[in-house]
Structure 1
Amino acid sequence: EKRIHLKKDTPGKVYAKDITSDSQITVLNPDHPIATLDKNGKLDMEMIVRNGRGYVPAEKQEIEGESVQMIPVDSIFSPLEKVCYHIEKTRVGQSTDYDLLVMEMWTNGGITPEDGVAHAAKIVKDHMQIFINFDEEPEPVQPQIDEKKQKVLSNLSKSVEELELSVRSYNCLKNANIQTIAELVQKTDSEMLKTRNFGRKSLNEIKEILEDMGLHLGIKLEEDDLKQITQARKKKEVEADVEV
């Protein structure tokens, strides 16, 4: 998840190329119009961008620290803009009764058309796999290992001691019975500030360290994530006992 900014106070059209962000963000359609400002118009926006799949309506968007100033919008994550096909007659050797499939695909630049076709074919193959052998038990689908998610879950299973916080911040977490990073990130800013002897300085310290780990406060963890975090923590405890 990243935050990008759009700020303009001159009259005229506002385009996607006016968005400012870090080097990790690339605007694929810089000439896409966003708004038009008159001579007195000003536009100052902060936008949240994240990876996703398919279509997500505005009401399903999960926004950390949601406020009245935050406007959720529909998201279309598909890199495909248009697809069409037609069938032509073709000749193979001396035979002229073959069909030729001609496909056309337009993307937004996020992937190539070749990759788009390959990915779509894989989805169809996976869905149709069950019909190949009716009498055989379908092989269980092995979940793909998301290395990025595994790294996040590994960090969440760590003890808050591993954050190397100042003595004051660590003692505040200890007094609040916050033992793991997973327990910590589920807290919001306001909840943390209600902790005894926990001030803004400690809050900023924790947020900076979490940001370096790709984490932040106010994360809503799913039940499956919590189970994996618990399993990872138990595994670490067993490994620690073996080392001792």
Structure 2
Amino acid sequence: MPINSFISLFGRSPIGPMQQHIAKAHECAANLVPFFEAVMAEDWVKVEQVQQEMARLEREADKLKKSVRLSLPKSLFLPVARTDLLELLSVQDKVANRAKDIAGLMLGRQMAIPQTLHAPMRAYVQRTVDASAQALKAMNELDELLEAGFGGREAALVERLVEELEDIEHDTDVMQIGVRQQLFKLEKDLAPVDVMFLYKIIEWIGDVADRAERVGNRLEQLLAR
């Protein structure tokens, strides 16, 4: 029986709400681009505005996550285990959480970024947001993937999207190393506490991309079952 027929008999599919959730998580992560632009311009009024928007989006993502968890039936007449969907939901939620963490720490400490790090940091942040966007793109295929019974052209498409996501995340790994190396050269001219927190922020930016990649990994696990 087609998936839509199952849904009509046994209730609403959880896939749409899960796609709405990752869209909100990505929207939060995407705000890292204007956030860092404001930080580099030392426009702290703008920094706070973007941070507040990111916090709002993260709260909305949390509400969607809770709604999906509460509405997810104990047994689904779908070729997906309930636990798999819950794990996928948890992974995609962490994208927004880490983005919010970055903004909160940088605003709270009014962290300056050395001028020579502006260009590599800008590229690094953008590539991280690219990873989040790719995870959203892959997740948006989940309903069609279910319709196709996790096979055929749709499965091949999702596999390709996940491979592209892995390539993007690898790019962020390489860029993270480069940014760290440049910061290392500047350490003697910066306050030790500032250096420590800059390294933390560089790590957390990479976490956003890593968590986006895990969304793809979860989709691959669904394909394999």
TM-score over 0.5 (shorter chain): no
TM-score (norm 2): 0.25
TM-score (norm 1): 0.24
Max Rg structure:
1
Q: Higher helix share goes to which structure?
A: 2
Q: Higher strand share goes to which structure?
A: 1
